[in-house]
Amino acid sequence: MSNGNRHFVSPEPFNPQQIEALTAEQEKYFLASQWKMMWWRLKRHRLAVASGIVLAVMYFSVLITEFLAPYELSARNEDFLHAPPQVIHFFHEGDFVGPFVYGLDQTLNLETLQREYSVNRDEVQPLRFFCSGDPYRFWGMVEADFHLVCPAENGTFFLLGTDRLGHDMWSRILYGARISLTVGLIGITLSFILGIVIGGLAGYFGGWVDNLVQRVIEILRSLPELPLWMALSAALPASWSPVLVYFGITLILALVDWPGLARAVRSKLLALREEDFATAATLMGAKPSRVIGRHLLPNFMSHLIASATLSIPTMILAETALSFLGLGLRPPITSWGVLLIEAQNIEAVVLFPWLMTPMVPVIIVVLAFNFLGDGLRDAADPYK
């Protein structure tokens, strides 16, 4: 044997006690599951964690909208049409009063025929907390009138002003969140199911199944999304109830969004189906559905979750755009897109800029989902 190929082996018998034991920290890391390691990496992404907290708070508010809103959804203030936002104060003439707003005085401008509002600093209206206010039906089932915050007796509290009918904008934005936020979740759930099933079949079986799925995906992705959404939304019968329109829009968004996810699933399964563990499961008699669902999908489920998180804001924006154009949800359903219909008139936006405030939660949610999706994608990357 040449010197370059020598192998040095210790002649001493093997002694397991001589192996250096793992520390508790090393053992915790080496024995951690994929999901636990993904969670550790996600926690280091501060922006993603902060975005997740913001989204959690917003989705939790959906559960108690009636309690959080100062006014009931359909409550009108006929004497305060297009009233400006009222600023919350704590001090009046140097004395601490607590949270309060000043009253509003209005006059009619005979030249422009517009209502003009002015702040009456002599009228202090303390806000009430955990109080009785407008009656409502909690989730349409339980009669109640308990609110987090209420205006003073015979007073007003318009945090973001009112619209042309005297509806409180802040209350309607809170109610609209219930629709706009759940459209994305329900839509991505349907899209997730379609993408996994269709992409899984194409990637596992290949052949003519794969060719058929790929041609369908190419046709759908070649169509411009916005005109396709508009065409499908316009096809919904005008006689449908608001609930049916809501589920119809959700189904349309899911049907248009699934090809991207299906293609990702298909490419992953094409690579994984030839692995030894998949071949062993097939030789042991496992059905294709079990091989796909039990052995293949879990290997890249974290990537699918990250992709789904990035798709939710697309659906929220799509619903907002369709409703803004009058082709999506329609009153009496209230969503952020429906509220923005008021802002179609540029003259109204110039005179009453608070009508644009429904844009703010849309921007916050879209940015939060994008930041969270980036964090999840980085955390799911096995090479990081």
Residue 359 is assigned to a structural domain of this protein: yes
Interatomic CA distance for residues 103 and 125, integer angstroms:
7
144 DSSP β-pair partners: 136
Q: What integer pLDDT is reported at residue 16 of this predicted model?
A: 58
pLDDT digits (tens, 9 = 90+) for 264-283: 888 888 878 778 887 888 88
Both 267 and 366 in a single domain? yes
Q: What integer pLDDT is reported at residue 1 of this predicted model?
A: 47
Question: What is the number of other CB atoms lying within 10 angstroms of the CB of residue 108?
Answer: 9
pLDDT digits (tens, 9 = 90+) for 279-289: 888 888 888 77
Residue 75, pLDDT above cutoff 70: yes
Both 150 and 226 in a single domain? no
Q: What integer pLDDT is reported at residue 192 of this predicted model?
A: 86
Q: What integer pLDDT is reported at residue 102 of this predicted model?
A: 93
Interatomic CA distance for residues 39 and 166, integer angstroms:
47
Residue 17 is assigned to a structural domain of this protein: no
H helices of the chain, where?
Answer: 24-30, 34-43, 46-63, 65-68, 169-205, 207-222, 225-234, 242-272, 276-283, 288-290, 301-324, 336-339, 346-351, 359-380
Last residue of one domain, picked from the residues 162, 182, 202: 162
pLDDT digits (tens, 9 = 90+) for 79-125: 898 899 999 999 988 888 889 999 998 888 777 777 889 998 889 99
Residue 30, pLDDT above cutoff 70: no
Both 204 and 262 in a single domain? yes
Q: What integer pLDDT is reported at residue 382 of this predicted model?
A: 56
Q: What integer pLDDT is reported at residue 303 of this predicted model?
A: 72
Q: What integer pLDDT is reported at residue 203 of this predicted model?
A: 83
Q: Which residues of 308-323 are buried (b: 16+ CB within 10 A; e: fewer)?
A: bbbbbbbbbbbbbbbb
Interatomic CA distance for residues 319 and 325, integer angstroms:
10
139, 151, 178: which is closest to 59 by C-alpha?
178
Domain residue limits at 157: 67-162
Q: What integer pLDDT is reported at residue 84 of this predicted model?
A: 92
| CA 230 to chain CA centroid, nearest Å | 22
User: What value does the mean pLDDT take over residues 211-238?
Assistant: 83
Both 216 and 139 in a single domain? no
Q: What total of structural domains would you count in the chain?
A: 2
Both 144 and 183 in a single domain? no
